[in-house]
Amino acid sequence: MAKNQKVILTCAVTGGVHTPTMSPYLPITPDEIADQAIAAAQAGAAILHLHARDPETGRPTLDAEVYGQFIGKIRRATDAVINITTGGSAGSTVDQRIAAAVRFKPELASLNMGSISPYGREQVIDRYGNWKHDWEVELFNGAKSRVYVNTEEVIERIIEEVGGNGTRFECECYDVGHLYNVAYFAERGLLPPPLIIQTVFGFSGGIGVDPGNVAYVRQVADRLFGRDYHWSILAPGRHQFQLCTMGAVFGANVRVGLEDNLYLGKGQLARSNADQVTRMRQILELLSLAVATPDDARQMLGLRESCRVEN
């Protein structure tokens, strides 16, 4: 793993898993997404990981037109690195998944490195009494039969069509086998070094949140990639700050945000993404770890400058 002098802090602003009923602070409209992203950058996030939502219902959307309503605003207000998802929903086509990244040509895009199927999400239904929208119940009830498809063909196409614009990929690895998938594409020359690896702990169907898994994942990545990779940690819910802190001590970058965790502490909803970024930054600084600026992140990750903005 490349030796980082500073820790890159990513903020995942809204995502596609949490729903409006679960928190009144989850950004839904383009203005809310933009405002929270800008505040997160001001609080210390060097990278902003972005999804879009239908402004009327809060349902996740892959419509590039909706992305266009907040990307320009974010880009004009901050120099943070823009990272657009190519993940999408279980039933979305590749065309839909890559539409925003193809149009806006961001410096960075997420790339899921293997197919996964979630387990146990229907249990969320019992935690909330009254749901604001029917689609929220449908989302969780239907999880048992859903597969997030990331076959070799799908990954190749995303690399070709999104990466062809100069966008670099953040390789999201939900299990150890996904690291081997990264190695496979790297050996074929499709993912050039330094690789950008984000390991996801605690996502249903993937590797668990046991602290020992953090050390194990690093061992595997070191064996596969040597010093030609940058590593980042993502963990959901109450595990977010714990595993991110552990990863940072190991030399990893970290990700927080309302996509991954709705809370700031036990029973305390985060009122904004900036709240979480501020908390994570405080933890890093207490550990005497410097937080990277956007320009630091660009240099460390080998990114080109700026994000093309179109409305």
For residues 191 and 156, is the Cβ–Cβ distance under 8 A? no
User: Looking at the domain 9-301, which fold is it?
Assistant: TIM Barrel (3.20.20)
Residue 2 pLDDT > 90: no
How many of the other CB atoms lie within 10 Å of CB of 19? Answer: 24
Enter the tokens of residue 185: 């594409």
For residues 276 and 23, is the Cβ–Cβ distance under 8 A? no
Q: Which residues contact 282 (CB under 8 A, 6 or more apart)?
A: none
- Per-residue pLDDT tens over the stretch 202-261: 988 899 999 999 999 999 999 999 999 999 999 999 999 999 999 999 999 999 999 999
For residues 239 and 14, is the Cβ–Cβ distance under 8 A? no
| pLDDT band at residue 306 using 50, 70 and 90 as cut-offs | low
- Model pLDDT, residue 142: 83
Q: Which residues contact 45 (CB under 8 A, 6 or more apart)?
A: 9, 10, 11, 80, 273, 277
Comparing CA positions, the residue from 211, 197, 204 lying closest to residue 236 is 204
What's this model's pTM, rounded to 2 decimal places?
A: 0.95
- Per-residue pLDDT tens over the stretch 44-67: 999 999 999 999 999 999 999 999
For residues 107 and 307, is the Cβ–Cβ distance under 8 A? yes
